[in-house]
Structure 1
Amino acid sequence: MKLKNRISDAATILAILAKQSGLLLALICFFVNISNAQKVITEPSILDLSLLNKQKKSLDASDLTLKAAYQKLLKSADKSLSFGPVSVMEKKDVPPSGSKHDYMSLAPYHWPDPSKKEGLPYMRKDGETNPEVKLYKDKEYLPSLCEHLILLSIAHHFSGKDVYANHAMKLVKVWFLDTATRMNPNMNFAQAIKGVNQGRGAGLIDARHLIKAIEAISLLLANKAVSKEEQAALQQWFADFLNWMQTSKIGKEELKAPNNHGAWYDALRLSIALYTKQLPEARAIVNNAQKRLTTQMDPSGRFPLEMARTTSFHYSVFVVDAFLKIAAMSKKINLDFWGFTAANGNSLPKAVDTLLPYLNKQKAWDGPQIKPFNDQEAIPILSIAATQFNHQKALDWLVANSASHPDNMFTYLLTLNDF
């Protein structure tokens, strides 16, 4: 069955997908913004609050598909209640600043050089993760924290149960606000390379998970689970982090990154600018992202710097994910990043269309890929393309592949990876 190219009604698409493909694919639309309304910024910036409210009413109306999803949601959220709180203060090593409040991590693809004394300086093995990075708990804690926050905030929205909001805010306050445990708003010591540096611009990629935290906090705020004082303090923390991103030597280094790092830098900047109500700055960031798309993509719709990686399929999807998040957020300030076509013909639809034959296995991936590609990595970009921007082929892929996805895909979707 073919769906119309333009999809505007959330309930209709949810029902159709549920009939065609079962609960799991329907959940894609359950948690993704599919409203076409152009708004001057609402909170959150990626989640569609009006859609979530509509789905909540459908739950009240005994929609069986949504009720099944709701029960899975609460089951997962209940597990999140046992997470944390966690803090940057828990790491064993002390950053060069002398303060454990500073975030610290190790470059994942750098290893001891066996030909050098003490292995220094570390050498690069692209795509091969040094297990030593697991000793740096900040990098483990931050993504986990953000994933649990978004899950708890959605569970609170649909259930109205304060236990979810209370635990989410406990996690937020320990990581961002409490004097004894808070993270300083910088990443001066992220992804350090031993024997080379104490931190680097590329380490800012660790911070992309903060987009999830902002979405969660914004949803909690919309449901009156964040006090005015807490909101003011959180906005100040993120404003300070954005200022650090744009004024520090390391932040400026990442601004110049010509690959996925630069795209994620802009995605995070845009998320923070919208959250802190810096709308002129947000528009400037979208404009900068358009320039990135113009220069990073080649005429074939590929991204050469991602194709040069040892896991090129992963990174090709990864960079498109960043641009699609920018496109979704851009709608909140009435900017059409999805509809943008550069003078050289580059566009987001072209990027998605280029990937689809490989995701559909109509073509074998012809770039380096030293690790098997998990097609669940495609769900984030295809969910946004299908539901926010009415991309028919992306929707067809989701329908065709829904039956083969394992049950744990639901957890994957709930962690904001599909936003």
Structure 2
Amino acid sequence: MNTFRKFYFPGLISCCLLLYSSCATVKRQDVLKIEDRVTEVLRSTVMAQADWAMSQMPVTVTAASSARTAGGKHDFYSEGDYWWPDPADPNAPYVQRDGMTNPDNFVAHRMAMIRFSRIVGALASAYKISGEPKYVAQAMLHVKAWFMDKETRMNPDLQYAQAIKGRFTGRGIGIIDTIQLMEVAQGILLMEKAMSTEVVASAKQWFRRYLDWLMTHPYGKAEMEALNNHGTCFVMQVASFAKLTGDESLLSFCRERYKTVLLPGQMASDGSFPKELSRTKPYGYSIFNLDAMATICQLLSTEQDNLWTFESPEGRSIAKGIQYLSPYVADKHKWTLKPDVMYWADWPVAQPFLLFGAKAYQNSGWFDIWRKLDHDPKVEEVIRNLPVRNPLIWL
């Protein structure tokens, strides 16, 4: 027996190590292949969007205003989407019509922020593909306007977001509007070494101040506790901005929040999100929430704490969520629940949960679904509820 151990165990161990090494090499090659395939799929779209972005001048919150805001020139302001004038009394406080967007509400600041996000995301994507410094220079022009210039910058808080005429000057749920700043933060992170140190430092300081407001203001605390897509998007934003600023304490907080609150508190045993399914837009909200959770996993996973492989004690996991929803994204006709009251025909598009999941689990089926979907949506409702529009900068 001792002779067997002496001569055969070392050989067996060597063979196992060689096999493991080969498997690891294959895995690394597969990951590289997926990223190359993403570039191949998106190259023409990215470069076209970057051409557009190169011609755009900055437009910030100071370019438009509303007489109904309680804030000032530099304060972000928006109004709740589903709130309408009372048919019985036009001077009365607005009334809710869930899922029905009022086109007359003030959303100019939100649209400006979406535009900012699209510009920086497109420029960062083009820079990743080409390495050309012109894209960085153009991005800095917009970053300076939003975060540095005394005349045009935005205050780092959201006290007046999703206001309701006659009811609230702002609400915690308005914090969801700044998911549009995530690709700005990610773009800066990607281009950081090519940017001016002053611009990077100023942008990081703005996001530090915003994070402090998010974590201490009653609006932020209320949004954090929401057990639906609002709570998910709160964690997703904090993770994104904390990654840019290098705040390891907040990153750890977000990982624990995902594992102990978001996943077990929102997901059913079949991988669905019951609170999203109960809304008037169950399909779109389910997609939106899963996109946000997958983005959290993409942002926060490390070798030591991999959220892609995490499973709650109740058996909830991000993989189960993707397995539940992906068949309905591949073929919407399979959806057996009620259709969304608005924008039913405009979903799905190239949802990030499919791409991030395909990369994490080496699932070519999910990648193929993602590849065939629309990578350049034009509908405003879809664009604002798509937290990742430039996936190249996240890989």
Give the TM-score of the pair, scaled to structure 1. Answer: 0.79
Q: Which amino acid aligns with 1:266?
A: V
Aligned with 1:131: secondary structure?
coil
Q: Which one is further off, 107-116 or 363-372?
A: 363-372
Cα distance in 2, alignment partners of residues 7 and 152 from structure 1:
30
* Distance of aligned partners of 1:294 and 1:13 in 2 relative to their CA distance in 1, 3 Å threshold: same
Corresponding position: 1:274 with 2:243: yes
Given candidates 231, 241, 259, the residue that maps to 1:262 is 231
Give the TM-score of the pair, scaled to structure 2. Answer: 0.83
**Which consecutive unaligned segments of at least 5 residues does structure 1 have?**
16-25, 31-65
Cα distance in 2, alignment partners of residues 356 and 328 from structure 1:
18
Corresponding position: 1:196 with 2:167: yes
| Contact kept in structure 1, 2:172 and 2:219, CA below 8 Å | yes
- In the other structure, the counterpart of 1:244 is 213
Q: CA RMSD in A?
A: 2.7
Aligned with 1:275: secondary structure?
helix
Q: Which amino acid aligns with 1:327?
A: C
* Distance of aligned partners of 1:416 and 1:332 in 2 relative to their CA distance in 1, 3 Å threshold: farther
Cα distance in 1, alignment partners of residues 67 and 150 from structure 2:
18
Corresponding position: 1:180 with 2:151: yes
* Distance of aligned partners of 1:324 and 1:98 in 2 relative to their CA distance in 1, 3 Å threshold: closer
Shift in Å, 1:7: 4.8
Cα distance in 1, alignment partners of residues 173 and 378 from structure 2:
31
* Superposition pairs of residues 30-69 of structure 1, within 5 angstroms: 30=39, 66=40
Corresponding position: 1:288 with 2:262: no
- In the other structure, the counterpart of 2:319 is 349
Shift in Å, 1:144: 1.3
Q: Which amino acid aligns with 2:352?
A: P
Identity of aligned residues (%): 30
* Distance of aligned partners of 1:11 and 1:252 in 2 relative to their CA distance in 1, 3 Å threshold: closer
**Number of equivalenced pairs:** 359
Shift in Å, 1:393: 4.0
Q: Which amino acid aligns with 1:187?
A: L
| Contact kept in structure 2, 1:7 and 1:387, CA below 8 Å | no
Cα distance in 1, alignment partners of residues 233 and 253 from structure 2:
15
Cα distance in 2, alignment partners of residues 203 and 178 from structure 1:
24
Cα distance in 1, alignment partners of residues 298 and 310 from structure 2:
13
| Contact kept in structure 1, 2:161 and 2:170, CA below 8 Å | yes
Q: Which amino acid aligns with 1:308?
A: S
* Superposition pairs of residues 113-128 of structure 1, within 5 angstroms: 113-118=86-91, 120-128=92-100
Cα distance in 1, alignment partners of residues 59 and 227 from structure 2:
33
- In the other structure, the counterpart of 2:58 is 85
Cα distance in 2, alignment partners of residues 187 and 300 from structure 1:
36
Q: Which amino acid aligns with 2:98?
A: D
* Superposition pairs of residues 18-417 of structure 1, within 5 angstroms: 26=37, 29-30=38-39, 66=40, 70=43, 72-93=45-66, 96-118=69-91, 120-133=92-105, 135-222=106-193, 224=194, 226-290=195-259, 291-332=261-302, 334-361=304-331, 363-371=334-342, 372-377=344-349, 379-398=351-370, 402=372, 405=373, 408=376, 415-416=389-390
Shift in Å, 1:181: 0.8
| Contact kept in structure 2, 1:189 and 1:198, CA below 8 Å | yes
